[in-house]
Amino acid sequence: MIKQNRIAAFWFGLFLSVILVQTTSARSFSPGADFVEKPLTIRSKIKEGTEYCLLSYNELSLQVVISSISSYENSNVAGLRLLKNAQPISEWFYTAAGYPENEFKLFYSESLKSYYLIQSLDVDEWEKYDVYYIESNKVTFEGTYEPVSKQAYVFYESPAWYYRDSHTTLSREGNKTRFTYVDDHEKEVLEFLKYVANEKPDTEEEAVDEQQRTEYLKPLTSKLSTFDWEKGFVPQYVYNISFDFNEDNKKEAFEINWQKRSIKPLNVSAQQLRKDDHYKDNIVFKGDTLLILGPDYGRGPDEIQGTYKFTISKNYNVALLSAYTDFRFTNSSFQLKKYGNEVTCFGSEDYFLYNGANAIRLEDFTFDRFDKRDKQYDYGRRYTLNGLYEIVLKKEGTTNSIFNSCSPLPNTKELDMLVKSNPVTVKNVQKYNDMAFYFQGIVSEFESLRYELFQCSLFLLHKVLNAFPDRIVAWLNFGDVRWESAAIYKSYDKQAFDAYNKYLELMKAQGKDMNKVPARVYQRLEEYKKDKNINGKK
């Protein structure tokens, strides 16, 4: 999650003092009434350096205006107006740490006919949220909630958190808020408690006087009122961009017009580029997609380039990088070719956008700043189950193997997308289990990839066990992976201990031959018990 500096924390506390919230009187609630998370639709527009964002669900909507603060690096002041049935019911200001659609979640209770709105804060170690309760047209700031520290250290290191197998729950108990994370696999609960901040600024530099604060807030208040929230989200179709396509230290400038599907040169370098047969197709329209080819990498005798695909986002109304392809100029799968002593990879591999809020905008894009490793959880490959199964089980050095230097291991986000599009079923569970087993089994051969291989294996085993909790072999595999990954750090893992016990329990319950239980299972259970007795580990 996003990390917050002390300035941002102070700004939030300072702006909180101007929240225009209508408090409620004592009410009676049905104990334990659960709230279900509801999806917020998004519309966004950037205009003259200010971002306008409208988040909506049924009769509730959030109007957000975000402006940059020139006095503080990487800080943005945001104004928010909350409306119900198009009528304002509350307004406040905060320090924006990211995109609104990533910062806000909405929960609704059908029995209480009320909402919780939670706002993720920018923090140093773990999640922290501001919680608002919305009943009828009244809004109450419930407080800032953070996890119980002793539980948090364990929870955030668990596979459930890493694999996003946890979900947020909110409920009313009496007239109090209960805020938790629930681990969907282990069923562990992480409690959040109300946080009391130190209101005194840490340094004199952070003490901003009332007049300066008012000056920052006035423009936001005005923009919240003057922006046309119904008709103001008109897409931006025209862009002026410049790139150094031929690496001659002279940028070629173009006007891009999506409505006309036109690319107009704006300087002499651009005119010359369009006449050069080698580079004229480096920037072209294909339907409603703008294709931009990156500079030559020059590996081997063939040219290798990246292709970047920009489209106008319907939600964000600007041109975003929707996909990119590594190493163009061949339609085949990845292949390894040897030139002298150098092994070079050729082929193409498509990466697609996961989260529009984190997408790269055309106006901000440059070749030298783009690094797919930094975008691995925003962009990723779309595997088919059969396609990935074939890749994973091929041996090192073969065409399209996961061990090709140019075709990296899938990350957990890519695996998550695969499972969402191909849920674990009776028909395919064996393939998922086989891939998990294979990832774990080759760790000894590829020490440099052991962390990635363990993570891939654990992720798939979590999904298998969520779908089939009585699958015996999966519990054995899960115990092995947890044990072996913990052994890297010369420690013992309770989840491995529990998994082995579950494996033995299911073997007995299903009448399996106990003589087939691997000796390592009993040995590791005894090692764990011995270590627990000596060191008092739980």
Residue 411 pLDDT exceeds 50: yes
pLDDT single digits (tens) 37-93:
999 999 998 887 788 999 999 999 999 998 865 444 445 788 899 999 999 999 988
Amino acid letter, 383: Y
Q: Residue 187 — pLDDT band, cuts 50, 70, 90? A: low
Look at residue 534 in the predicted model and tell me its pLDDT: 56
- Residue, of 387 and 32, whose pLDDT is higher: 387
pTM of the model: 0.70
Look at residue 137 in the predicted model and tell me its pLDDT: 92
Look at residue 227 in the predicted model and tell me its pLDDT: 93
Compute the average pLDDT of residues 135-154: 84
pLDDT single digits (tens) 275-297:
888 888 889 999 999 999 877 54
Token pair for residue 278? 């080698």
Most confident among 189-193, 263-267, 301-305, 479-483 (mean pLDDT): 263-267
Chain centroid to CA 16: how far?
A: 27
Q: Residue 115 — pLDDT band, cuts 50, 70, 90? A: very high
- Packing angle of the helix pair 519-535, 494-509 (nearest 10 deg): 140
Instruction: Report the alpha-carbon distance of residue 42 to residue 318 in Å, rounded.
Output: 13
Report phi then psi at 27, rounded to 5: -130, 165
Compute the average pLDDT of residues 197-204: 50
Instruction: Report the alpha-carbon distance of residue 310 to residue 257 in Å, rounded.
Output: 12
Per DSSP, 89 falls in state E
Which residue is listed with tokens 């905060």?
Answer: 94
Instruction: Report the alpha-carbon distance of residue 148 to residue 390 in Å, rounded.
Output: 44
Report phi then psi at 296, rounded to 5: -65, 140
- Residue, of 101 and 133, whose pLDDT is higher: 133
- Whether 290 and 319 have beta carbons less than 8 Å apart is answered as yes
Cβ count near 478 (within 10 Å): 29
Report phi then psi at 216, rounded to 5: -70, -35
Compute the average pLDDT of residues 16-41: 51
Long-range CB contacts (within 8 A, 24+) of 306-314: 308/365, 308/370, 310/362, 310/365, 312/235, 312/236, 312/237, 312/258, 312/288, 313/356, 313/359
Look at residue 377 in the predicted model and tell me its pLDDT: 59
Residue 321 pLDDT exceeds 80: yes
- Which range (114-118, 329-333, 394-398, 453-457) has the least confidence? 329-333
pLDDT single digits (tens) 447-458:
777 878 888 898
Residue 533 pLDDT exceeds 80: no
Look at residue 433 in the predicted model and tell me its pLDDT: 94
- Whether 376 and 413 have beta carbons less than 8 Å apart is answered as yes
- Residue, of 97 and 346, whose pLDDT is higher: 97
DSSP-assigned beta bridge partners for residue 350: 325
Look at residue 335 in the predicted model and tell me its pLDDT: 44
Which residue is listed with tokens 């393939």?
Answer: 431
Instruction: Report the alpha-carbon distance of residue 240 to residue 253 in Å, rounded.
Output: 7
Cβ count near 446 (within 10 Å): 14
Using alpha carbons, list the distances in angstroms from residue 126 to 117, 129, 199, 488, 515.
Answer: 19, 10, 20, 25, 46
Report phi then psi at 361, rounded to 5: -85, 150
Look at residue 3 in the predicted model and tell me its pLDDT: 34
- Packing angle of the helix pair 429-441, 385-392 (nearest 10 deg): 30
Compute the average pLDDT of residues 503-528: 94
- Whether 267 and 248 have beta carbons less than 8 Å apart is answered as no
Say which residues have a Cβ less than 8 Å from residue 530's Cβ, sequence separation at least 6: none
Chain centroid to CA 340: how far?
A: 42
- Whether 203 and 5 have beta carbons less than 8 Å apart is answered as no
Compute the average pLDDT of residues 343-364: 71
Say which residues have a Cβ less than 8 Å from residue 128's Cβ, sequence separation at least 6: 120, 121, 144, 145, 146, 195
Instruction: Identify the three-state secondary structure at position 82.
Output: strand
- Residue, of 377 and 499, whose pLDDT is higher: 499
**Would residue 86 be called left, alpha or beta, if left means φ above 0 and alpha means ψ between -120 and 50 degrees?**
left
Using alpha carbons, list the distances in angstroms from residue 53 to 49, 90, 141, 248, 361.
Answer: 13, 16, 22, 40, 16
Give the sign of the dihedral formed by CA 469, CA 473, CA 478, CA 479. positive
Chain centroid to CA 536: how far?
A: 37
Calculate the average pLDDT of the chain: 77
Per DSSP, 44 falls in state E
Instruction: Identify the three-state secondary structure at position 223.
Output: helix
Residue 508 pLDDT exceeds 90: yes
Using alpha carbons, list the distances in angstroms from residue 531 to 12, 158, 411, 536, 538.
Answer: 46, 20, 33, 8, 10
Compute the average pLDDT of residues 232-258: 91
Strand order in the sheet with 319-326: 283-286, 289-293, 307-312, 319-326, 349-353, 379-380
Look at residue 416 in the predicted model and tell me its pLDDT: 86
HSE toward the beta carbon, residue 351, CA cutoff 13 A: 25
Q: Residue 192 — pLDDT band, cuts 50, 70, 90? A: confident
Compute the average pLDDT of residues 154-173: 67
Percent of the chain residues topping a pLDDT of 70: 71
Q: Residue 505 — pLDDT band, cuts 50, 70, 90? A: very high
**Residue 533 host element (H or E):** helix 519-535
Look at residue 155 in the predicted model and tell me its pLDDT: 66
- Residue, of 524 and 294, whose pLDDT is higher: 524
Look at residue 493 in the predicted model and tell me its pLDDT: 76
